[in-house]
Each structure stands twice: as C-alpha cells, then as structure tokens.
Amino acid sequence: MGLDPDVVHLDGKSPKDCYKVLNEYLNKSKIEGTNKTSPYSRVVLKWDMPILKHGVVLVDSPGLNDDQNLDEVVRNYIPQAIAMICIISCTSGVTQSAKKLIVSAMKQEHFDPAALMFVCSKIDLIDKKEKKPVLKQIRQTWKDIIRCEPAMFQLNTRGALKTLSKYKFQTPDLKTFNAALNRFLAESYRFKLQRYFEKFWTSSSHIGLVLR
C-alpha cells in the first residue's frame, strides 16, 4: 500500500528557502538511525512556467549511484520519456553507472539512440590542452555504446548561468545548445508519436483479422 504524498507549499518563499525545504526530501536516501531506505521515490514540482503549460513534463533524475532504488526508478521511467539528456562531467568522464543506464535503455524495445543528447559540463575546469582529448574520449565512448555518432555538446553551465543572470545574454555555447535542443525535442517527439501510431495500427490490424 502506498503512502499518502507530502504536500509542501512553497509560495512566497525565497529560492534559498525553497532549496532548503526540497533538500530535505531530495537528499534523504536513508532514514536516519535505521537501515530502511527513504519512502520518497520522487518529488513533483508544480511551477508556473510557460513551457509547462502545454503538457511538457521535465524529469530530473537523481545522481546515479546515490541510491540503488533511485537508479531503478530512473531505468523504469525511460520507456515513458520522449528524450533523454545525459549530463557528463568533463572532470570525471563517462562513469560506469552512466554506461549501464544507457546500455539498459538501448536494450528496450523501440528505443531510438537519436533520442539521446549528451551535454559535457564543467568544460571550463579542464586545461585548454586537455579539452580536445577529453571530449574525443567521451564522444568515442558513447559512439561505441549507441553505435552511431552521438549528439554531444559542451557547456560551461556555471558561466552561462552567471552571464544570463547578470547581463541577460546567452553565451555562444548556451545559444548553440538551446538551438540544438529545440530541434532535438521536436524530432524525438515526432519519433515517439510515430512509434505509438505504428503500435496502434498493428494492434488494430490484428483485431480486424480476429473479428473476420
């Protein structure tokens, strides 16, 4: 039997206070003083944002390896997702848990590797001489796994956020990423709809044959 959800109202709270409240749920992987895992498998935020007014749902997964149960939640959600955006830290490279997740996704029926986008973050923390080799290694790793050229972008997230907040201006890498993201989501959505229609048509054809 499932537990009744906790409802927390954040209206009027500052961003700092909102983060503090949510952090109590997001980082509670273990119940203090016991060996039991936290009863919270997800946190649902209802936010008044233009992009969310047309049925769009954004799902931010927990960090892989933080909790095995949460890893399972992420894997089980993959079939419902229209697209996946994997954030890879350039300082640590492609982790084994990230590889395992994508390999798992590739084994699922009708999963399209074109619905994957890889974002290399913390690129600003890599020495200039090491950037190309690091990015090349990350690209090759994903190419070997998904067996096609990965859609991969580098993004200095901290610098982009700082520039956007202070000057209301998008850095070149953020502008490139946003343009690619719009195309990527539209194409992934069309592919998902196509798969649903194909499945529906196949099922309808079988039903028609049985009725005859």
Model confidence at 38: pLDDT above 80: no
The residue assigned the tokens 């490139």 is: 176
Average confidence (pLDDT) over 66-71:
61
Strands 116-121 and 84-89: parallel
Average confidence (pLDDT) over 126-138:
94
Q: pLDDT tens-digit profile of 83-102?
A: 889 999 999 999 888 898 89
- Would you place residue 119 in the very low, low, confident or very high pLDDT band (cuts 50, 70, 90)? very high
pLDDT at 58: 82
Integer Cα distance of 68 and 86 in angstroms: 18
Integer Cα distance of 210 and 205 in angstroms: 9
Model confidence at 132: pLDDT above 90: yes
Model confidence at 1: pLDDT above 50: no
Cβ proximity of 106 and 146 under 8 Å: yes
Integer Cα distance of 3 and 23 in angstroms: 20
Q: pLDDT tens-digit profile of 178-201?
A: 899 888 888 888 877 777 677 666
